[in-house]
Structure 1
Amino acid sequence: MLNRRLMLQRSATVASLMAAAGVWPTWAAAQSGYPKAAFEARSMADLTKTLGLSTPTESKAVTVTGPDIAENGGAVPLGAAVALPGVKRLMLLIEKNPNLLAAMFDLTESMEPSLSTGVKMGQSSDVYAVAVMNDGRVLFARKEIKVTLGGCGG
């Protein structure tokens, strides 16, 4: 049976090994290499300018999924998918959140351009799925999600 001291020593050893191997959890935005300004953008125009992207075009090849009405803004399931090959990056944007950019994923050709995640939404808002293609095109889809109970505190 492990006593408390031995358990703490082993936990510290495992934590130091994880840190040395580079697998210790870290703040995603800090390690991502994306400009901090991307996460501080307040509009689609600001975000595309910060990331050096072309003007986005609405496309039926991009879909954004989520509930029509979210009863709790603290946990809203969202998804995005692209029905075209050559997706380089997939982003989820929430227009009325304090931070427009909710999620950003870099993809490779071997990955399916489809993702799902949970986000916080402070109020009813348009949600955008934005796909950056290998050829430089930026495509998007929009969906309005109504929130009955806010989750961002703002």
Structure 2
Amino acid sequence: MNMSRRAFLQVSASGTALLLVSATGLLPRLAAAATTNPLAPTDHRKPFEAMTLDEVVKSLGGTTATKSTDIALQAPPIAENGAVVPVVIESKLPNTKMIAIVSEKNPHALSASFSFPDGTEPYVMTRVKIAETSNLYALVQTDKGFFYTEQMVKVTLGGCGG
């Protein structure tokens, strides 16, 4: 193998740096820091594995969700393209901490989750994918528990009923 002097020096420098980092014990700490988030729940994938609204609530640490009229959910009643359904959610509930979008007929019921720090207006405007005609839920977490509102969204294929 013909290695140029420059390539040899680059490989040697990289190897030396890796050896120094691993000898000081920083490598396992750096790897752990990159994979853990102290603010996130221990298993952040669990809510996305839930299949119903109740399972999503339980996976987020609640027991049950109560229907509320203080949550405004705007979505089209008929979506011609289920891949890009515009959704607007606004919570009038005090101390809103999180807003989630749930569609039980999707492969994963939880479509999105948004956290709100204190003093932030709990308002979300986004687009979600809805697999088929189903209820779309806006799930809100406050310091008093979980609340939701729902709206039926009919997904058509190319705008031709369905």
Q: TM-score, normalised by structure 2?
A: 0.69
Q: Which runs of 5+ in 1 are unaligned?
A: 1-29
Rg larger in 1 or in 2?
2
Distance 1:138 1:50 in 2: 12
Show the counterpart of 1:90. 99
Q: Deviations over 1:10-67 (max 9, x none)?
A: xxxxxxxxxxxxxxxxxxxx97835211111001221122111131000000121100
How far does residue 74 in structure 1 lie from its aligned partner after superposition? 1.1
Question: 1:127 offset after TM fit, Å?
Answer: 0.3
Aligned counterpart, 2:127: 118
Structure 2 residue aligned with 1:74: 83
Quote the residue 2:153 is aligned against: 145
Which amino acid is the alignment partner of residue 59 of structure 2? T
Give the share of equivalent positions with the same residue, in percent: 33
The aligned counterpart of 1:17 is none
Aligned to 1:33: 40
Gap regions ≥5 residues in structure 2: 1-35
> Alignment length, in residue pairs?
120
Cα distance in 1 for residues equivalent to 2:66 and 2:93 = 14
